Structure 1
Amino acid sequence: MNIYKVKINFEEKGHETIELPVAEGESVLDVCLDNGIELQHNCGGVCGCSTCHVYVNKGEEHIQEISDKEEDFIDRAINPHITSRLGCQCVFIDGDLEITIPDQSQFLGH
């Protein structure tokens, strides 16, 4: 199994950019949760909401292609961009990735 890396930037103040190892088949959401990074996931990571929304800065070709279902949920995300993806659906295939996690403070219960 190959190990890649994900560089995570944060919009929220007070968070430093971090680089973490990831294995093929892991999702961005998995990596965040395994490393104590708060990424909302109200549906439990099954592509049933838009709370794990992230921006892919580099390496989109190294994650699974976007599905119609994921596109529908991204349309409901807060401040979606053309590079928006859901962290639960960003599953690593074969390379490094750089993402930005939007400010998570707008979620209730944060």
Structure 2
Amino acid sequence: MSVPATTITFQFNDGQPAQTHVAASGESVLDVALNNGIQLQHNCGGVCGCSTCHVYINAGGDDLPEISDKEEDFIDRAENPRINSRLACQCVVEADMQLVVTVPPQHFLGH
């Protein structure tokens, strides 16, 4: 018997086609994005210390861990926060989930 797969579909506002990737239980949306070549800022290194990995969860959000006060504080500082905003580093998936995530426009600064 096969274990149901967790998938994350990434949608983009810049005209890129959507991408769907399989995620392992315990991975964050940020991990899956970076492991599949999707550029998603993460200035703090993915430790809930900034708001640069801000995404919109369009489907499957009820299956994610509850938002923490710390995450909520950083989302308030994100560009164009919405009711479905989350930080990709804090969206850790479990088995048998299907998420649909929109990656908002990224404003990369020079290094």
TM-score greater than 0.5 by the shorter chain: yes
Q: Distance in 1 between matches of 2:13 and 2:52?
A: 15
Matches within 5 A, 1:58-73: 58-73=59-74
Q: Distance in 2 between matches of 1:109 and 1:58?
A: 33
Q: Distance in 1 between matches of 2:37 and 2:52?
A: 17
Q: Provide the aligned C-alpha RMSD in A.
A: 1.5
Give the equivalent residue in structure 2 for 1:99.
101
Q: Distance in 2 between matches of 1:59 and 1:88?
A: 16
Q: Is the 8 A contact 2:6 2:94 kept in 1?
A: no
How many pairs were matched up?
Answer: 108
Question: Could you list the per-position Cα deviations for residues 68-105 of structure 1 after superposition, in whole angstroms to 9, with x for gaps in the alignment?
Answer: 0000000000111110000000101241100100011x
Question: Identity of aligned pairs, percent?
Answer: 58
The DSSP-based 3-state class of the residue aligned with 1:99 is strand
Runs (4+) off by over 4 Å = none
Q: Distance in 1 between matches of 2:13 and 2:110?
A: 18
Q: Supply the AA of the counterpart residue of 1:10.
A: F
- Please report the TM-score for the alignment, with normalisation by the length of structure 1: 0.92
Residue 49 of structure 2 is aligned to residue 48 of structure 1: yes
Give the equivalent residue in structure 2 for 1:24.
25
Aligned partner of 1:12 among 6, 11, 14: 14
Q: Distance in 2 between matches of 1:83 and 1:109?
A: 29
Q: Distance in 2 between matches of 1:10 and 1:45?
A: 20
- Please report the TM-score for the alignment, with normalisation by the length of structure 2: 0.91
Unaligned runs of 5+ in 2: none
Q: Structure 1 residue 23: deviation in Å?
A: 1.2
Unaligned runs of 5+ in 1: none
Matches within 5 A, 1:32-43: 32-43=33-44
> Once structures 1 and 2 are overlaid, which stretch shifts more, 2-11 or 31-40?
2-11
